[in-house]
Chain A
Amino acid sequence: MIIKRFGAGIVLAFMILFLLSGMLLLSFAGGAFNMEAALLGVIFAVFLIVQYNVLKSIFKHLERFALLIADFLCVISIVILYRIDPETAQKQLIWILIGNVCMIVAMLVIKRTHDFGKANWFFMILAVGMLGMTLLFASRIGGAKNWINIGPFSFQPSEFAKILFLIVTAYFLSSRERKRDMWPYFLFTIACVGLLVLSRDLGAALLFAGTFLIVFYVGTGSVGITLGATAAFAGGALLSYKMFDHVRTRVEVWQDPWATYNDKGYQIVQGLLAIASGGLLGTGLGLGMPEVIPVGTSDYIFAAIAEEFGIIVAIGIIALYLVFIIRGILIAMDARTKFDKLLVFGATAMLSLQSFIIIGGVIKLIPLTGITMPFVSSGGSSMLSAMMQLGIIEGVALKNGEYEEAELEEMGGGVA
């Protein structure tokens, strides 16, 4: 245990060093010293140290590495966002702070709950309602209709529907033995994915469908039905390819973005140019031109990071996500109830799938579908949702620790 804590401390120290040196560099970027950048860095650094130590001392079974990786991703996010657009970085910091509150709330709720029971029916209606509302009232941003404006605030309901989807998934797959009793859940999944496709939010549709397949396979072990469902989704994808122009465009642009570099392929080409211009070691913070990348602060933030920090750091980020996934799955394996297992596994699977879809799209490994990069892309809804998923993982980790402690006490009881 001592070695583990020591390791976590090093990660924290390295992260703080990265944050402070990055922000210091940015504060000198304009020639004159920019107090604001330095201040933002210090505030965030202090917050991280306090957050880590407070959480660690209150919750002794906290999963430290998952938390630190999420924090590290947030640090990278703040530094690169400040470099592209300081105002976005300030907003992002506020969202990270609110996100931490959400994470703690999610942690406590999950720690105290069994499986939400009948409330799941309400969650289903709420999720479908939110996605349906989006389809009806949302405004279109970047081809997808996934934003709802309420007064000065705009939010992406699909981000919050994710959390509900994860809970409902875990509930049905853990409480129903027979597959034929799961039909309300199947209908729910189809409704969610269908509504997302109709809103043209292809990235989210892919994410929901993929998460369903993965968690369903793990929960039931039924390879046949999983493959059947995969085939059904693939059929749906093929149908939408045939039916919708915007889907076809995505695939064409993926095959050859250079053919339409100044039009449809512009975004992908600019992303690839950014990555290529950075090379292995990057141009250095402040020396590239990530501001020319369309949506470089959000979906395309990975290209901006690759340009200025280089391919090596970009691969490091991919590795961070992978470590996060491994920690998440270990917690899932350790969980005592089937609901907890599937809930944590679902949250982990969704976050990993999401990072794979967006990074893969940016580097042109797979067709691009607009989706945010968890913990890194700018945007409130996305940050809160990712933080809540982290909260779910941490909540179950706490439960696991308490069970383990109880078991140890039972065993050691006779001796004492």
Chain B
Amino acid sequence: MKKKPNLKKNMRVMLGVFCCLFVLLGTYLLYSTVVYGDQWFTTPYNPRISASKNIENAGTIYDRNGVALAYTENGERKYAESEDVRRAVSHIVGDIYGKSLGAETLYAKYLYGYDQNVVDKFNSAQSGQKGGDVYLTIDSDLSEYIYDNMSVGPGAVVLMNYETGEILASVSKPTFDPNTAKDDTEESGAKFVNRVTQGLYPPGSTMKILTTAAAIENGVTDMEFECTGEDIIEGQRVTCTSVHGRVGLETAFEKSCNIYFGRLAAELGDDIMLETANEFAYNYNFQFPNLTLYNSQFEVSGNMGDLAWAGIGQYNDLVTPMHNMLIAAGVANGGTVMQPNTLKDVRYGGVSSYTYTPTAFRSIMPQDVAAQIAGYMRNTVESGTATSANIGNATVCGKTGTAEYVEDGETKNHSWFVGYVQDAAHPLAIAVIGEGEGFGSAYAAPLAGKILEHAIDMGY
């Protein structure tokens, strides 16, 4: 005889379970709002902040030298007088209509004083209290210089102090003018996109820094290869622009031999390449406190031909100019990448309420590997593909890239250069990209050299 189920007892058990579930629901709701509420509220994605923007009380946005880039006068938001300056810093400063992701949006919580009294967020905004003044890390003069020297077409330049992570200049073309941003519509050029942080490009040969690091870290450094200008790797044709002859790792890097690095990536295999890419913060969700950086991508398919292409920065590889610059900065800084930052400090009525402290982001390679790659990058500028980046007043190290892409059925090339100044007195890292500008050595490398030379002259 089986025992009859005791329904009442079972129901009581379930009642207990439901009580626990609903208490958990209430507790979690309270907990998450108390702990994360302020952080969530002040994210730039909160449309409530931009909607309640009270221009009257907004603080001023200054560059690192105290040049006012955006300020309120007679209830109106004003920007730098020179159109070139306005345009050069437009993506960093942003606009008040939420069209771009600049300081006006990212630092709205300071500019409108929401960080002061988050308990009654909206009341503080309505009370007429003046917002905070925001000091950026960028130099507006240097930004203007870069803007004037870039080509007319789309592209991006980012310059950072690799010891502190301060972004000294970040220029993305096409630009917009904040004075007329209200009526601007997005055109084919997507001018509100900040290409430095939001533009995802195939890295092309600049990817060879990563492939080289993978090889050195895994002891695959003595591979030699006869470059005949063309090779087939698992059914996929890889070509070089010239016949490089017999090359080892060092010469292949200097000459940027595609076939060598394609072979090398295939030799290293999917796992090692993917592991190194992840170390380099590919496929990583960047969450920097003061700036938004899109995620870069590195994929493997199991096909060695695809991996060969991935090893030379094509296939499905995608990187932002800022991330690519950070990689060069890592090489320069002994493998450690500093967290990039654009917010220097915030002051309320002259009293500082927030000051950024340089913070390391992560180590992307051991120090000895960084030193070895630094040598290769120096040789590349000295006698390899990047000689056009050589300048008189400092030692530049770098790597060019020519990234293929197809537009309207036509194969075109992005011109890349990533590099840095090898001098503790001038710790500058740079990335330059020109969309459709052809070889890296033709546009990006000489422009990078010119910018670095100017920045050093300015005292950076």
Most buried by A among B11, B23, B40: B11
- Residue A360 lies at the interface, judged by CB distance under 8 Å to chain B: yes
- Residue A363 lies at the interface, judged by CB distance under 8 Å to chain B: yes
How many pairs of residues, A versus B, come closer than 8 Å at their CB atoms?
128
Number of interface residues of A (CB under 8 A): 51
- Residue B366 lies at the interface, judged by CB distance under 8 Å to chain A: no
- Residue A345 lies at the interface, judged by CB distance under 8 Å to chain B: yes
**Is there an interface contact between A315 and B30, defined as CB atoms closer than 8 Å?**
yes
**Is there an interface contact between B29 and A363, defined as CB atoms closer than 8 Å?**
yes
**Which of chain B's residues have a CB closer than 8 A to the CB of A275?**
29, 32-33, 37, 40
**Is there an interface contact between A279 and B121, defined as CB atoms closer than 8 Å?**
yes
Stretch of B45-53, B87-95, B229-237, B344-352 contacting A (4+ beta carbons < 8 Å): B45-53
**Which of chain B's residues have a CB closer than 8 A to the CB of A292?**
47-48
- Residue A240 lies at the interface, judged by CB distance under 8 Å to chain B: no
**Is there an interface contact between B40 and A273, defined as CB atoms closer than 8 Å?**
yes
Residue of A nearest to B9 (CB): A221
- Residue A74 lies at the interface, judged by CB distance under 8 Å to chain B: no
- Residue A29 lies at the interface, judged by CB distance under 8 Å to chain B: no
Within 8 A of B (CB), among A284-320: 287-289, 292, 306, 311, 314-315, 318-319
**Which of chain B's residues have a CB closer than 8 A to the CB of A359?**
25, 29
Partner of A325, one of B2, B15, B38, B121: B15
Knowing A280-B33, A314-B29 are in contact, say whether A333-B18 is a contact too (CB < 8 A). Answer: no
**Is there an interface contact between A322 and B48, defined as CB atoms closer than 8 Å?**
no
Within 8 A of A (CB), among B392-443: none
Residue of A nearest to B21 (CB): A356
**Is there an interface contact between B41 and A277, defined as CB atoms closer than 8 Å?**
yes
**Is there an interface contact between A289 and B29, defined as CB atoms closer than 8 Å?**
no
**Which of chain B's residues have a CB closer than 8 A to the CB of A209?**
none
Within 8 A of A (CB), among B292-351: 295
**A 328-372 binary contact with B (CB < 8 Å = 1; else 0):** 010011000010011001000100100010011001110000000
**Which of chain A's residues have a CB closer than 8 A to the CB of B32?**
272, 275, 363-364
How far apart are A248's CB and chain B's nearest CB, in angstroms? 16
- Residue A181 lies at the interface, judged by CB distance under 8 Å to chain B: no
Q: How far is the CA of A319 from the CA of B46 in the complex (A)?
A: 29
Within 8 A of B (CB), among A193-224: 214, 217-222
**Is there an interface contact between A325 and B22, defined as CB atoms closer than 8 Å?**
yes
**Is there an interface contact between B121 and A322, defined as CB atoms closer than 8 Å?**
no
- Residue B10 lies at the interface, judged by CB distance under 8 Å to chain A: yes
Stretch of A61-69, A95-103, A128-136, A254-262 contacting B (4+ beta carbons < 8 Å): A254-262
Q: How far is the CA of A89 from the CA of B225 in the complex (A)?
A: 74
**Is there an interface contact between B7 and A276, defined as CB atoms closer than 8 Å?**
no
**Is there an interface contact between A326 and B15, defined as CB atoms closer than 8 Å?**
yes
- Residue A269 lies at the interface, judged by CB distance under 8 Å to chain B: yes
How far apart are B340's CB and chain A's nearest CB, in angstroms? 18
Partner of B285, one of A256, A289, A332: A256
**Which of chain A's residues have a CB closer than 8 A to the CB of B24?**
365
**Is there an interface contact between A221 and B14, defined as CB atoms closer than 8 Å?**
no
How far apart are A252's CB and chain B's nearest CB, in angstroms? 11
Q: How far is the CA of A350 from the CA of B351 in the complex (A)?
A: 57
Partner of B5, one of A220, A259, A272, A289: A220
How far apart are A356's CB and chain B's nearest CB, in angstroms? 5
Most buried by A among B2, B10, B24, B119: B10
Residue of A nearest to B17 (CB): A214
Knowing A261-B45, A287-B122, A318-B26 are in contact, say whether A352-B18 is a contact too (CB < 8 A). Answer: yes
Helix, strand, loop or mixed for chain B's interface? helix
Partner of A356, one of B15, B22, B40: B22
Q: How far is the CA of A283 from the CA of B46 in the complex (A)?
A: 15
**Is there an interface contact between B28 and A363, defined as CB atoms closer than 8 Å?**
yes
Q: How far is the CA of A220 from the CA of B10 in the complex (A)?
A: 9
**Is there an interface contact between B30 and A276, defined as CB atoms closer than 8 Å?**
no
Q: How far is the CA of A213 from the CA of B14 in the complex (A)?
A: 11
Partner of B14, one of A217, A322, A338, A356: A217
**Which of chain B's residues have a CB closer than 8 A to the CB of A326?**
15, 19
- Residue A321 lies at the interface, judged by CB distance under 8 Å to chain B: yes
**Is there an interface contact between B40 and A259, defined as CB atoms closer than 8 Å?**
no
Q: How far is the CA of A218 from the CA of B10 in the complex (A)?
A: 5
**Is there an interface contact between B11 and A218, defined as CB atoms closer than 8 Å?**
yes
How far apart are A213's CB and chain B's nearest CB, in angstroms? 10
**Is there an interface contact between A217 and B10, defined as CB atoms closer than 8 Å?**
yes
- Residue B228 lies at the interface, judged by CB distance under 8 Å to chain A: no
**Which of chain B's residues have a CB closer than 8 A to the CB of A345?**
11, 14
Knowing A289-B47, A349-B14, A363-B28 are in contact, say whether A318-B22 is a contact too (CB < 8 A). Answer: yes
Partner of B37, one of A262, A276, A321: A276
How far apart are B233's CB and chain A's nearest CB, in angstroms? 30
**Which of chain A's residues have a CB closer than 8 A to the CB of B45?**
261-262, 269, 273
**Which of chain A's residues have a CB closer than 8 A to the CB of B121?**
277, 279
How far apart are B200's CB and chain A's nearest CB, in angstroms? 14
Partner of B122, one of A177, A283, A318: A283
Q: How far is the CA of A256 from the CA of B295 in the complex (A)?
A: 14
**Which of chain B's residues have a CB closer than 8 A to the CB of A321?**
22
Q: How far is the CA of A220 from the CA of B14 in the complex (A)?
A: 13
**Which of chain A's residues have a CB closer than 8 A to the CB of B9?**
221
Q: How far is the CA of A177 from the CA of B9 in the complex (A)?
A: 18
Within 8 A of A (CB), among B48-105: 48, 51
Q: How far is the CA of A159 from the CA of B391 in the complex (A)?
A: 73
- Residue B355 lies at the interface, judged by CB distance under 8 Å to chain A: no
**Which of chain B's residues have a CB closer than 8 A to the CB of A329?**
11, 14-15, 18
Q: How far is the CA of A272 from the CA of B43 in the complex (A)?
A: 11
**Is there an interface contact between B25 and A273, defined as CB atoms closer than 8 Å?**
no
**Which of chain A's residues have a CB closer than 8 A to the CB of B51?**
289
**Which of chain B's residues have a CB closer than 8 A to the CB of A341?**
7, 11
Q: How far is the CA of A306 from the CA of B25 in the complex (A)?
A: 13
How far apart are B280's CB and chain A's nearest CB, in angstroms? 18
Q: How far is the CA of A311 from the CA of B28 in the complex (A)?
A: 11
Residue of A nearest to B23 (CB): A322
Knowing A272-B40, A326-B15 are in contact, say whether A333-B8 is a contact too (CB < 8 A). Answer: yes
Knowing A279-B37, A325-B15, A363-B29 are in contact, say whether A219-B8 is a contact too (CB < 8 A). Answer: no
Q: How far is the CA of A306 from the CA of B32 in the complex (A)?
A: 13
**Is there an interface contact between A218 and B7, defined as CB atoms closer than 8 Å?**
yes
Q: How far is the CA of A311 from the CA of B12 in the complex (A)?
A: 29
**Is there an interface contact between B29 and A288, defined as CB atoms closer than 8 Å?**
no
Q: How far is the CA of A338 from the CA of B10 in the complex (A)?
A: 13
**Is there an interface contact between B10 and A279, defined as CB atoms closer than 8 Å?**
no
Q: How far is the CA of A341 from the CA of B14 in the complex (A)?
A: 14
How far apart are B222's CB and chain A's nearest CB, in angstroms? 41
**Which of chain A's residues have a CB closer than 8 A to the CB of B11?**
218, 329, 332-333, 341, 345
Q: How far is the CA of A277 from the CA of B28 in the complex (A)?
A: 17
How far apart are B33's CB and chain A's nearest CB, in angstroms? 5
**Is there an interface contact between B26 and A315, defined as CB atoms closer than 8 Å?**
yes
**Which of chain B's residues have a CB closer than 8 A to the CB of A276?**
33, 36-41, 46
Residue of A nearest to B24 (CB): A365
Question: What are some 27 contacts across the A-B interface (CB < 8 A)?
Answer: A218-B5, A219-B7, A221-B5, A256-B285, A272-B40, A273-B47, A275-B33, A277-B41, A277-B121, A280-B33, A289-B48, A289-B51, A292-B47, A311-B30, A315-B29, A318-B29, A319-B26, A322-B23, A325-B18, A329-B18, A332-B11, A333-B12, A342-B7, A349-B18, A356-B18, A356-B21, A359-B25
| Across the A-B interface, the 9 shortest Cβ-Cβ residue pairs | A221-B5, A276-B40, A218-B10, A276-B37, A322-B22, A276-B41, A315-B26, A259-B285, A273-B46
Which chain B residues have a beta carbon within 8 Å of chain A's beta carbons? 2, 5-12, 14-15, 18-19, 21-26, 28-30, 32-33, 36-41, 43, 45-48, 51, 119, 121-122, 285, 287, 295
